[in-house]
Each structure stands twice: as structure tokens, then as C-alpha cells.
A and B are shown apart, each in its own frame.
Chain A
Amino acid sequence: EVQLLESGGGLGQPGGSLRLSCAASGFTFGSYGMTWVRQAPGKGLEWVSTISGSSSFTYYADSVKGRFTISRDNSKNTLSLQMNSLTADDTAVYYCAKVERGGGGYFDYWGQGTLVTVSS
């Protein structure tokens, strides 16, 4: 059974940093791309970033480019999102999701999400 468990959310300061993690199990982690999607309170879904299975390729939404860094450790089945220079607009539930193949594609499994609140 595929399981994705996010952690690391919480209260962040404007201009500050947070690091999210996603622990994966139930599939061959390194064979699949992974992604982060966020959802601001009461709003729709926003794609944030995707990383290929081998970490060869990373992609970012313009809204986070230069501030967020996606990475993965295939030896530990863990996906991460380093979030720097936080603003109030980054307040959202952050979901990690498995991509249906090694590079890009749709998202076939999702974690339960972790809430990030940016406020002073």
C-alpha cells in the first residue's frame, strides 16, 4: 500500500525558512517522480514543484522559483521541500504526491498534507 506522510509544517516568520519532508513507502521510490502541491485556505490547488526519480530534473512554479528547493533522498525514501524567504502568500496546506512515472505526469497518490502558516 502506497503511503505518503508529510511533516515539517507549522508557523513560519515572514522572510524566514521552513523545511517540509515527505516519507514514502509501499512503492519503489526512486522509480517515480514526486511533486508538491499546495492549497491556500479556501482556495484551489496550486502545483509547486516536481522532481524526477533520479533527481536529474526539477521544475518549479514561478511563484516559488528561486525561493523553494525540492530534493529527494532515494536511500531514505524521503522527499523534501526547503522553503526560504517565506511570505504570507505561502500560507497553505502542502501536499506531497507521487507522479505516475519517473519524470512528469499525473499524481496518483497523495499525502494527507501539512499546514504552513506564515505570520509574524
Chain B
Amino acid sequence: DIQMTQSPSTLSASVGDRVTITCRASETITNWLAWYQQKPGKAPQLLIYKASSLESGVPSRFSGSGSGTEFTLTISGLQPDDFATYFCQNYNRFPYSFGQGTRLEIK
């Protein structure tokens, strides 16, 4: 099974900052990777699919990159609404797997 490892687990930043979250797969998943944002008490929301494709309606300050085993989610110019938890997900093959999550908190 493919293991997904996110880093860091917690990230402290300020409004306006540029932040990067990393997700590593235990084996190559080509570019079959998605990123989700989750706010407390709410369902996750899709941000990025196929490693770098922005979901419709998601602000352009979110971007994804990477292929193979290493991927990044970058948020350029943090907004107050962006403080949440972020998860990566492998959908290369079953069983699918999620990273453990990165909590983005206000510094």
C-alpha cells in the first residue's frame, strides 16, 4: 500500500505570507495527487487535482506542483480564510490514502 507523508504537521504563518506544504509518497504515483482543505466541523473541499490542476472556483493563490513521489501545495499571499487543515491524497491505485494533515495556524 502507498503511504503518504505530509510535512510539516503544523505551520504557523501570518496573513500575506507565502507557505509551502510538502507531501511525499512511498512509491511513485505519477501525478495522481489531490489536495483538500478542511475547516473545523466542515467537510473537506477539493483544491487541487492531478498534482497541479486548480479546481474551479478555488482562488489562484493556491498552486500545486510535483510528480512521482514528491509534491507541494503553495499558498501565495495567505488570507484569513486560509487558516485550516490541508490533506494530500493519493488516487493512483486502490487502496487510496491520505496524508496525516497539515494544520495551518495564525502566527
Contact = CB atoms under 8 A, between A and B. Distances in A.
Nearest to A96: B43
B95 interface: yes
Nearest to B89: A106
B73 to A, nearest CB: 14
A61 B97 CA distance: 9
Interface residues of B, number: 24
A50 B100 contact: no
Nearest to B33: A106
A59 interface: yes
Contact of B98 (A47, A62, A108): A47
B95 A59 contact: yes
Contact of A110 (B43, B91, B99): B43
A16 interface: no
Interface in A71-119: 95, 100, 104-113
A118 B98 CA distance: 23
B46 to A, nearest CB: 5
Contact of B43 (A50, A59, A100, A112): A112
B95 A44 contact: no
B8 to A, nearest CB: 14
Interface in B56-107: 87, 89, 91, 93-101
Contact of B96 (A50, A109, A111): A50
Contacts of B42: 112
Nearest to B42: A112
Given A45-B87, A104-B91, A110 B45 contact: yes
A100 B49 CA distance: 10
Interface of B: 1, 34, 36, 38, 42-46, 49-50, 55, 87, 89, 91, 93-101
Interface of A: 37, 44-47, 50, 59-62, 95, 100, 104-113
- The 4 A-B residue pairs whose C-beta atoms are closest, nearest first, are A106-B34, A110-B43, A47-B96, A59-B94
